Amino acid sequence: MIIAVSGKGGVGKTLVSSLLIKKLSKTGKDVLAIDADPDSNLPEALGVDVDRTVGDVREELKKDTTQGRIPPGMNKWDILDYKIMESVIETPQFDLLVMGRPEGSGCYCAVNNMLRKIIENLSDNYDIIVIDTEAGLEHLSRRTTQNVDVMLVVTDNSKRGILTAHRIGELAAELDIRFKDLYLILNRVQPEMEKEFIKRAEETGLEIVGIVHEDDEVALYDMDGKPLVELPNDSNTVKAVSGILTSILKD
Ligand SMILES: Nc1ncnc2c1ncn2[C@@H]1O[C@H](COP(=O)(O)OP(=O)(O)OP(=O)(O)O)[C@@H](O)[C@H]1O
Ligand SMILES: [Mg+2]
């Protein structure tokens, strides 16, 4: 099963992704986490150090090619596949692949264009893949997430957050990308605004699969740079994301 977490910038994609991974890795399943955000911070949320990204691997190979260091008779793409496999970071709980971005001012689309093929190549090795996507809609327009089973769209209560969520639903339909499930998650919900938030979120036409409240503990972890996966199991946010996972896995 491939789960992607999407939405506008800063709405809580990485929070939701990291807590899904925390919960999933306790179920004994083989989990691969993919950070597809070029300005990546999933590794920090998961408490994992990263020394090499897919972007780095691609740069190395580009240099090797221009400097004639590819051994004769070897296919560049086979080397790339091999190097990507090598850059998967293994931890006792889950594996992690960070897409990263090319050096300097280069466009990161080249790296993200590789994502679909990487998912295809790696999906046989894992029970579940969780992708923390780049903010916005490009993962859809580039079709990097077209083979995803469950698309989770996160929004906060901002008009732009809800609008992006609405557009993700619309664009997927326009491009005829049919996820098995497409759900909306409401994040940073404040009790006094909950009713109005739900009403506006319902106007997107997306099914709401869960609600995560504004949580001072999350803000504190963030302030101290503490991995979010270390949030205690009795944290309301951890419990809310666990509930969302249960709903996703139910059908
Ligand atoms: N429920 C919450 N309660 C308190 N703070 C939250 C909550 N959800 C997210 N935040 C805070 O909001 C900020 C953005 O969250 P996060 O990094 O998960 O969003 P994102 O969608 O991954 O952002 P980006 O698009 O930059 O990758 C973080 O500082 C995070 O700690
Ligand atoms: Mg993020």
Ordered structural domains, the chain, with CATH = 2-49+89-102+109-250 (3.40.50.300)
> Ligand 1, residues 164, 217, 218, 244: which to mutate, most atoms within 8 A of Cβ?
218
Give distance in angstroms: CA of 18 to centre of ligand 1: 11
Give 110's contacts (C-beta < 8 A, 6+ positions apart).
58, 102
Q: What was the pLDDT predicted at 115?
A: 86
Is there an atom of ligand 1 within 6 Å of 214 CB? yes
Q: For 103-115, what is the mean pLDDT?
A: 64
Ligand 2: centre distance to CA 47 (Å): 14
Q: How far is the CA of 128 from the centre of ligand 1 (A)?
A: 23
What is the Cα–Cα distance from 69 to 238, expressed in whole angstroms?
48
Whole-angstrom distance, CA of residue 36 vs CA of residue 3:
13
Quote the pLDDT of residue 45.
97
pLDDT-derived band of residue 114, with 50, 70 and 90 as boundaries? Answer: confident
Question: Residue 8 C-alpha to ligand 1 middle, in angstroms?
Answer: 11
What's the pLDDT score for residue 62?
84
Tokens found for residue 34? 């993919």
Helix (H) or strand (E) segment spanning residue 62:
helix 54-66
pLDDT tens digit string along 166-182?
A: 999 999 999 999 999 99
For the chain, where are the alpha helices, taking DSSP H only? Answer: 13-25, 42-46, 54-66, 76-86, 109-113, 115-122, 138-141, 159-174, 194-202, 216-224, 236-250
Binding site membership of 211 for ligand 1 (Cβ less than 6 Å) = no
In this structure, what are the phi and psi dihedrals at residue 224, rounded to the nearest 5 degrees?
Answer: -90, 0
The beta strands (E) that lie in 106-230 are given as 128-132, 150-155, 181-189, 207-213
SS3 label, residue 207: strand
Residue 111 has pLDDT above 80, yes or no: no
SS3 of residue 30 by DSSP: coil
Ligand approaching nearest to the C-alpha of 222: 1
Percent of the chain residues past pLDDT 90, beyond the cut: 70
pTM of the complete model: 0.94
For the cut 80, the answer to whether the pLDDT of residue 246 exceeds it is yes
Sign of CA dihedral 167, 169, 172, 176: negative
Q: Whats the size of the chain, residue-wise?
A: 251
**Is 208's pLDDT higher than 90?**
yes
Residue 107 has pLDDT above 90, yes or no: no
Q: Is the CB of 70 under 6 A from ligand 1?
A: no
Instruction: Please tell me the number of the ligand nearest to residue 9's CA.
Output: 1
d(CA 94, CA 29): 9
Instruction: Determine contact, residues 206/182, Cβ cutoff 8 Å.
Output: yes
8 A C-beta contact, residue 157 and residue 199 = no
Ligand 1 within 6 A of CB of 10: yes
Residue 136 has pLDDT above 60, yes or no: yes
Q: Is the pLDDT of residue 59 over 90?
A: no
Mean pLDDT of 13-27: 97
> In which residue are the tokens 């899904």 written?
20
pLDDT band, residue 95 (cuts 50/70/90): very high
State which H helix or E strand residue 95 sits in. strand 95-98
Q: Return the ligand 1 atom nearest residue 215 CA.
A: 3
Q: Does residue 158 line the site of ligand 1, with CB under 6 A?
A: no
